[in-house]
Amino acid sequence: MASIDTVILPFEEKPLHTPPLEEIRDVLAAGLVSNFATVDVEVVDCPNLTQAPFHLAGEGLNGNPALLEVGGPPYLLPHVDYTKLYDVVSISQRALNDTKKEILAIGAGAGPYPHVNSNCEGMFNLKISASGHVTSESHLAQITPDRKQVLLKKIPNTETRCALLGNIFLSEGKPGQVLKVSCKKRIGGEDFIASIRNALAKHYEDKPVGLGGVFLLKNGKAKQHVMSPFSETPIHTEEELNTWLNFFDMSATLIAVGTLVTNECDLDLRLQHFHSFSKHGEGGHYHIDTTPDIVEYEGYFNVGEKIVRVDKPVNTHKFGRD
């Protein structure tokens, strides 16, 4: 099935509040200590993210940083809408109003189900050159038929579709200053991303702040899910959803990409969404670490200047956004 022509998709955008990195550093340094025993937040020159242990398609997170929110859970639940296939390349180019720049697109969403003939998780990680050439380090994770194992697969350069929903951080992939957030030993109940999001939301209140980037789970394990093949029966309740999802404890080192935003900006947003891949065959949708005493996180984030909403569901619900 072909992806929907990007030209006909509804696009909406809103500016985000963009505090200086130094200010966010101080907000997070003060806010994260209620959730982690060791917290270190710095403004640093971004390490080259194409190198191990990151394995991203682009070097940095700078140059027109933006959050891109595509589709949503209403296209998956209670019934799947098979027509919802998006081309990440043309959507990213339209979102940044420019087809002549290099773009790095990293984030979480539903994988390109036609590619493996099955529903799957997508870890989008691709660089689009000024000439439109794609270098993909994207992965997908699907469940085996017995639902006991996860298959993590590299997505080729020629497959740039995202199905149903996606939360993607866009930039020109340039080097530059970013936030480095290191946390060890979780002492509170929030996952790494929720703790960052809540600290920002508490400080900035109704001014929306959005971040995107990459974090490593460097030690320990995390609870992650991988969706089953599309359900033939409708999924209406949280309980039915959790039976359909497959949960695993996955081991470090996990490399997670995605976005977070402190409020919905009246755009029907998912406030956080990160998917991880690895070099050891594990990958999925990040929920929280399951080894709080030994967990170690290291994240690199930049601040989005705007949020671009693509194909916002008309008939929406708040279900399946955990």
* Chain residues that interact with Zn ion, rule: CB under 5 A: 108, 285
Q: How far is the CB of 275 from Zn ion (least distance, A)?
A: 5
Nearer to Zn ion, 31 or 109 (CB): 109
Query: To the nearest whole angstrom, how small is the minimum distance from the Cβ of residue 273 to Zn ion?
Result: 6
Looking at beta carbons only, is 39 or 140 nearer to Zn ion? 140
User: Measured between alpha carbons, how far is 230 from 26 in angstroms, rounded to an integer?
Assistant: 44
- Please confirm whether the linkage preceding 73 is cis (ω < 30° from 0): no
Q: Which is nearer to Zn ion, 49 or 256 (CB)?
A: 256
Q: Minimal distance in Å, beta carbon 49 to Zn ion?
A: 21
d(Cα 278, Cα 149) in Å, to the nearest integer? 15
Listed in order, strand segments (DSSP E) in the chain are 11-15, 36-45, 66-71, 85-87, 103-110, 121-128, 134-136, 139-143, 150-154, 161-171, 177-186, 210-219, 221-226, 246-251, 254-261, 272-277, 284-289, 296-303, 306-310
Phi and psi based region of residue 30 (left: phi greater than 0; alpha: psi -120 to 50; beta: remaining): alpha
User: In the complex, what is the shortest distance from the CB of residue 109 to Zn ion, in angstroms, rounded to a whole number?
Assistant: 7
Write down the least CB distance from residue 74 to Zn ion, Å: 15
The minimum distance between CB 59 and Zn ion, in angstroms, equals 26
Identify residue 81 by its one-letter amino acid code: D
Burial category of 60 from C-beta neighbours within 10 Å (exposed 0-12, middle 13-18, buried 19 and up): buried
* Nearest CB to Zn ion, comparing residues 218 and 287: 287
Closer Cβ to Zn ion, 63 or 284, answer by number? 284
Residue nearest to Zn ion (CB): 285
Q: 57 vs 110, which CB is nearer to Zn ion? A: 110
